[in-house]
Amino acid sequence: MSEFAGRAAFVTGAGSGIGRAISLALAARGAFVWATDFDEASANGTAELIEQTGGHGTAVRLDVRHEAEWQTALALADSGDDALAVLVNCAGTFAITDTFSMPLDDFRRIMAVNVEGTFLGMKHAIPRIAKSGGGAVINISSLAGLKGMAGWTAYCGSKGATRMMTKAVALECAGLRNNVRVNSVHPGFVDTPALRKSIHDRGSQVVDPDEIAKTSVPIGVACSPAEVADTVCFLASDAARHITGAEIPIDGGMTAG
């Protein structure tokens, strides 16, 4: 499949979980993937998997909290052969602590990665995508960006901010007629290292995501990272030409009720 042939995609948090699956899926569809993560070894692991599966990509170290690092990483992407057409803001972090005992530094860390990182990505990548003819930004928000969850104040706040920044920037791009679409996706219960850590941190007796999903996800199964990647690829593609400023839950019905 060469749906994205000649186009480059820039993915943050690409070293693990959903970001890795998105990188592999875009590469499998013909995109050159800039697989970025603040853990260089895990980004390298994703780039190796891309090459092993017949795709093309390069690992880049990027801590999304730092504006100068964004500028350096995107300058590198500018030097590539393929036009930058897709940005996926996937890097994310969380802490499960109630509001009253959460240290301000922890709150700020979550905001810095999830909100400031997403803002910086859009600020610096969108002008480049527009210059290369247009494309799409997909911000990975969460179920927590659509509904409140006790103990997740900072994460809910960060993912709600991601959702609304997406809509504001989508309208800015529309106003500029720059041919860049901006959408958010809202995963609910995806079997990744981060989800397993959150299950562990909550001290749950049941640790298997599929077992937990039987009662906590309406359709009764956990989502795979590849299933999130399929929706991201759709939003990145020309088939989604008329979709911008939208929010797509990928949650097995968790926000339907």
Q: How far is the CB of 63 from ligand NAP (least distance, A)?
A: 4
- Of the pair 37, 247, the CB lying nearest ligand NAP is at 37
* Shortest distance in whole angstroms from residue 242 CB to ligand NAP: 25
Among 55, 57, 187, 249, contact with ligand NAP (rule: CB under 6 A) = 187
Residue 90 interacts with ligand NAP (CB under 6 A): yes or no:
yes
- C-beta neighbour count of 67 within 10 angstroms: 13
Produce one character per residue of 110-144: b if its CB has 16 or more CB atoms within 10 Å, e if not.
bbbbbbbbbbbbbebbbebbbebebbbbbbbbbbb
- Asked if residue 69 binds ligand NAP (CB under 6 A), the reply is no
Cα 183 off chain centre by: 11
Minimum CB separation of residue 210 from ligand NAP in Å reads 13
Of 87, 136, 190, 240, the one binding ligand NAP (CB under 6 A) is: 190
Residue type, 146: L
Q: Which is nearer to ligand NAP, 62 or 77 (CB)?
A: 62
**How many residues bind ligand NAP, per CB under 6 A?**
30
HSE of 65 in the Cβ direction (CA atoms, 13 Å)? 10
Is 209 a known active-site residue?
no
Residue in 142, 166, 183, 244 binding ligand NAP, rule: CB under 6 A: 142
- Residue 113 within binding range of ligand NAP, rule CB under 6 A: yes
Assess 189 for contact with ligand NAP (CB under 6 A): yes
Least distance from ligand NAP to the Cβ atom of residue 251, Å: 8
Active-site residue, selected from the candidate residues 155, 185, 225, 250? 155
Contact assessment for residue 158 and residue 115, using Cβ atoms and an 8 Å cutoff: yes
Q: How far apart are CA 50 and CA 43, in angstroms?
A: 11
Among positions 9, 13, 85, 88, the unique one binding ligand NAP when judged by CB under 6 A: 13
Residues belonging to the active site: 155
Which positions touch ligand NAP (CB under 6 A)?
12-13, 15-19, 37-39, 42, 62-65, 90-93, 113, 140, 142-143, 187, 189-190, 192-195
